[in-house]
Chains A and B, each alone.
Chain A
């Protein structure tokens, strides 16, 4: 079993995710680590625009203090945010046109319960509790030009999350391009999963032990940088 000290803090994985952003990108950071890290740390010179499911376009960092925020200036999940110049508000109906049509969102970051070797993502039904937390996941998973999953590589009890076929209810099929975990960065391709980066102090064998499908090790294997 993987030593927990070798695993990255998920916040660091969020910083690695930031490196995927290109100048002018229109970005959707989903619940959890993406939303908690990305808005706070985007380099301002990139000129990136953040989009929230509840209809806030161009929002800024999340406000951590207890005071100084207004009830209506919040993104999905109720996180209060700074509304910088250039931001706007639209209805949920309209924001989902932007989020689903694959014409506007350059990159989306979502959490997941499982990802399959074909790029299927399962992230909406917590089957242990039997509760549907669907939100915009099915739309966003289809509508992003690039979909990056940020998640723990496997469950604390060892249960695998990168699998041959998802056993948890699927959100969308064949949509994930990149998986970033507390152990590795893995690219999803037609030919299989390519291990491109490993966390500092982690070996290829250790990553393969926690991954169900066979990993193709990249010729250009690197250590994750933040």
Chain B
């Protein structure tokens, strides 16, 4: 009987190799990131990773351990320098990590484009800014647009609230954020959940990510609370 459930996060990540492209769920502020999976990714010691996340927090510890070659993100560091969360921006400044920046909306739509099998899309976001550099520009109805390419990954490490044993997912409040999109943006989708329930316990009308998008399920051992950025 095919089983998607893994006992430990480290087993769920066993086939990730050096040089892999990995997406990490979660939002700036810390909610919705798969911290147990990230900790095991660090423990595995895989190097030269290309990491895609919407902010620096899930990547912070990986950057500290020098496992990152390139980061595609929307937020490189907090607005005020914070020594606890500085590792990505420091590594960028030292030339150790290549960083590509884009807006939150553009990141999620690039992932969706990959999932949909389209080459990309034309958007007005970023036109006439630094981010337009090197991108194809085109006029539609008298307005400038720039082309953004689809973006996918080998692995997506996401966080959800509950999964049934088939991999149907529910999310919890603002911890949802980019996780459902990343679930559709990678070849292998690994989800960390608070709770695994039997098939039939989740109301089909409420399922946000259907099981066809989920490959591996692991129950989180520790619950890391959200980082409050402002006191």
Contacts and interface: CB of A to CB of B under 8 A. Distances in A.
Interface of A: 31, 52-56, 70-80, 83, 89-93, 96, 99-100, 125-126, 129-139, 142, 169-173
Interface residues of B, number: 53
B27 A31 contact: no
Given A71-B226, A92-B54, A130-B93, A135 B174 contact: no
Contacts, number: 150
Contacts of A80: 228
B211 to A, nearest CB: 17
20 contacts: A56-B173, A72-B175, A74-B174, A74-B226, A75-B174, A76-B29, A77-B230, A91-B208, A92-B178, A93-B181, A125-B130, A132-B101, A133-B77, A138-B126, A142-B125, A169-B129, A169-B130, A171-B129, A172-B129, A173-B128
Contacts of A77: 28-29, 229-230
Interface in B160-198: 171-181
Nearest to A126: B79
B177 to A, nearest CB: 5
Given A134-B74, A173-B128, A89 B171 contact: yes
Contacts of A91: 108, 176-181, 208
A80 B31 CA distance: 11
Contact of A134 (B89, B93, B103): B103
Contacts of A71: 31, 175, 225-226
Nearest to B209: A91
Interface in B42-96: 54, 74-79, 81, 89, 93
